Structure 1
């Protein structure tokens, strides 16, 4: 892979090869400036002659493709950056909300009502005409959210796109043109390709007061399992929200109270079978919605960039005879409107995956009961371990070592990352998501047998998505 280079005076130089960077570090002529992306800084004076080139960014809700191409069509650098999954974040937020709600019920005697009064009493230094300091003030019901507010999950992805683009611009020499692929989607047409004109205002809920009334009327107030009409009916979500479903009527059906049972929700039941059949609608429209939001913010953040769209990228990539990947898409994006029809691409793709910085749930959500000694105090055990410290002998001296989550380690010549802990041992996974161990019986490895290479933090170089899942 190519390595970014910064001069002695801080000027940005052309990327160099991995071999030359290794020699410069070994000879003491350079030191590591940063690890993600890998950059070295020189210790000696050198010229600052650079060549022009192009920087291409393939945006996405789950991956960011990066490609740096020289003016003659030579690919200097390629990256595929994986962001955290939205659904895993959502499950963590739901668990946090349930814990917070339970703690509030246990420890709060009185909770203020959720409704907001029209006025409140405020102490004023200047009294009114009757000499009263406590006066009534009207309460505004306008939102406190600033203009352009986004939910935290969307805001973090948008910030990561802008932050990575600016980071790469700061590492490349001046004069590199920036090209960004944007996404523009019509969610209504994605659901119904025949929609047009005033049909955008007349959806499936048109002239119905709510979704439940529409679903009951569509099914003729008849249970779709036993075909019994009338009685106590439920509107059942065929697909769970965790699988990408919404309150769209196509994911809802009418069932009676007898058929809406726990047995039918279990494997083998009719409701479980319907859910398995509908799982093909797993993504929903959240990715398309995010891309529409991201487009406006990238245009505002980088007005000097050249913008293109996916249909143009596909044609350009096929002209360059490159296979489909995020890195190759970024190469085609970098060369858009340049007239270059051939590239020299011998660069390997660098995979960078975002992971949780630390697991913050310190204790069990519910106290465990299956013990030899009854848990009379409802104590919660420590759940997620952030780091483990062990002491081992090295050169007849006791040396303590601490291993953190997602640290880069080496075991018997094989490199991987710490993916979890159990006591004083840990689980280690390699780039292919396979466990590294010293015994075929056990997956865990004693921390004293590992050699810790470096701390990764929030981004892991060379790891697949499954390592940082959640």
Structure 2
């Protein structure tokens, strides 16, 4: 069973070291603590803990910022071994642009019917101001800040490490220090170089021009013959071309492949697109704790070094740099930011409220975890109370299901954490 930690406060609100959930529930049963929140588990002790007794081991928050999903993790730098206290994956909203366009259509229709007012075309000063972030990007960064602020209320954040772009351009051009593994494993390619090679070649095999397949970064001049670990000696090949054609025949293809990459430059536009809003996010995070920056290449190297499965929350653990970690079987949470504006006409019905996280079990035993999107009373002789709910991943929506078949799991406030 996965380990779950509870955040702990004393009766004055001072943040203490987290404890295991089993012990937290024991303290609640004994009347020594009160439950503050269940997801994530937060308790408040009924006594005051002197400041001299509070542990000061550094707690680091790692953030794996992505367009669709964001990974967050809290790792404590303990004296004996590093401890993962919390990890989660947050799903970013993808509907903001569509809703902005819909709002624009409604506004345009309404304004076109105001015949008493002359048309105005140059009144969009707010959208043209310098340094403005598009709403679709800004809301993603604001969602990250909401999670960080929520965590900072219940646990001490000594340092925040944010992953910037997937590759470090400066390291590619200015060189980099060797990782510890490079002294023993001379044939292993640095992830920063591998990703840069694939990006430069547009994720396409440079021999057969296949795209959707397993791709390798191939050394044109073999390492065994002094070929450099450099983007100028690397090219993208599919697994079939690499293993069945070029491998052991490197010099047969050397001139052809060198011609392919001659003069080809790394396209930085995708990296620049990812950086939109990162400067604003950096400024905001730096006001909350000491901020450090890392890159996706470094994260990938750490993940490979310690043989950790690739997930968004595990990447956030690697971002902290507090490795190795003895146990990674920590409970992983799912976070979904909620809009402040509610679309539901009925906010509560029976024991349920709009946006409640519920569990529904079908007759065949299939279990769905979702949140209520609408509540209504059917216009029939029974006046049945029903709801619509959507699964947490947003893949399925169920309509018209009776409330008696549902079980309340959590009642979120602003952030859905489950």
| TM-score of the superposed pair, with normalisation by structure 2 | 0.61
**C-alpha contact (below 8 Å) 1:358/1:386 kept by paired residues:** no
Tell me, in whole angstroms, the C-alpha distance in 2 between the residues paired with 1:80 and 1:286.
Answer: 27
| 2:161 paired residue number | 179
Distance 1:165 1:43, change over 3 A: same
Aligned runs of 1:231-270 on 2, under 5 Å? none
| Superposed CA offset, 1:346-388 (max 9, x none) | 202111122444554xxxxxxxxxxxxxxxxxxxxxxx64435
Aligned equivalent of 1:59, options 42, 50, 65:
65
From 379, 387, 391, the equivalent of 1:426 is: 387
Task: Give the Cα–Cα distance (whole angstroms) in 1 for the partners of residues 326 and 28 of structure 2.
Answer: 30
Shift of the 146–13 alpha-carbon distance from structure 1 to 2, 3 Å rule, reads: farther
- Hey, what does 1:165 align to over in structure 2? 148
| Contact kept? 1:417, 1:428, Cα under 8 Å | yes
- In 1, the alpha carbon distance for the partners of 2:325 and 2:87 equals 17
Question: How big is the shift at 1:451?
Answer: 5.3
1:408 is displaced (CA, Å) by 2.6
Please report how far the alpha carbon of residue 334 of structure 1 lies from its aligned counterpart in structure 2 after TM superposition.
0.7
2:139 aligned partner:
156
Q: CA deviation at 1:191?
A: 12
Correspondence for 1:345 = 328
CA apart distance, 1:306: 2.1
Q: Report 1:406-425 matches (<5 A).
A: 406-409=355-358, 416-421=370-375, 423=378, 424-425=385-386
Partner of 2:75: 69
- 1:301 and 1:64 map into 2 onto residues whose CA distance is 17
What does 1:29-428 correspond to in 2, within 5 Å?
Answer: 29-34=32-37, 37-46=40-49, 48-50=53-55, 51-71=57-77, 72-85=81-94, 88-106=95-113, 108-115=114-121, 147-173=130-156, 176-183=158-165, 193=200, 288-289=271-272, 291-303=274-286, 304-335=290-321, 340-360=323-343, 385-387=345-347, 389=349, 401=350, 403-409=352-358, 416-421=370-375, 423=378, 424-428=385-389
Q: Confirm or deny: 8 A CA contact 2:347 2:353 kept in the other structure.
A: yes
CA distance, structure 2, for counterparts of residue 34 and residue 154 of structure 1: 30
C-alpha distance in 1 between matches for 2:374 and 2:33: 35
Residue 173 of structure 2 is matched in structure 1 by: none
Answering whether residue 26 of structure 2 is matched by residue 5 of structure 1, we say no
3-state SS of paired residue (2:156): coil
List alignment gaps of at least 5 residues for structure 1: 118-140, 196-284, 361-383, 390-400, 438-442, 463-470
Higher alpha-carbon Rg:
1
Please give the per-residue CA displacement for 1:393-414, whole angstroms capped at 9, x wherever unaligned.
xxxxxxxx26433213455797
- Cα distance in structure 2, aligned partners of 1:387 and 1:287: 42
CA contact (8 A) 2:21 2:41 kept: no
Partner residue of 1:272?
A: none
**Offset at residue 345 of structure 1 (A):** 1.7
Partner residue of 1:28?
31
CA deviation digits over 1:168-221, x for unaligned, max 9? 3443336x33322112789xx9999489xxxxxxxxxxxxxxxxxxxxxxxxxx
Give the Cα–Cα distance (whole angstroms) in 2 for the partners of residues 90 and 411 of structure 1.
Answer: 32
Change (3 A) 1:152 1:14: same
The answer to whether the 8 A contact 1:68-1:75 is kept is yes
Aligned length: 302
Distance 1:191 1:151, change over 3 A: farther
- Note closer, same or farther for the CA distance 1:286–1:19 as it changes in structure 2 (3 Å cut): farther
Q: CA deviation at 1:322?
A: 0.3
State the match for 1:250 in structure 2: none
Superposition deviation, residue 309 in structure 1: 0.3
Deviation at 1:43?
Answer: 1.5
Deviation, structure 1 residue 8: 1.7
Residues 104 and 348 from structure 1, CA distance in 2 versus in 1: closer, same or farther, beyond 3 angstroms? Answer: same
8 Å contact kept, 2:143–2:337? no
Q: Answer yes or no: is the 8 Å Cα contact 1:36–1:459 preserved in 2.
A: no
In structure 2, C-alpha distance between the alignment counterparts of 1:153 and 1:75, rounded to whole Å: 32
Task: Tell me which residue corresponds to 2:402.
Answer: 446
Task: Return the offset for 1:57.
Answer: 1.6
Write 1 or 2 for the structure with the bigger share of helix: 2
Whole-angstrom distance in 2 between the partners of 1:302 and 1:453 = 31
Mapped pair 1:456 → 2:416: no
Between the aligned partners of 2:166 and 2:199, the Cα distance in structure 1 is 17
> Where does the alignment leave 5 or more consecutive residues of structure 2 unmatched?
170-195, 203-267, 379-384
Tell whether the 8 Å contact from 1:411 to 1:436 is kept in structure 2 after alignment: no
Secondary structure of residue in 1 paired with 2:275: helix
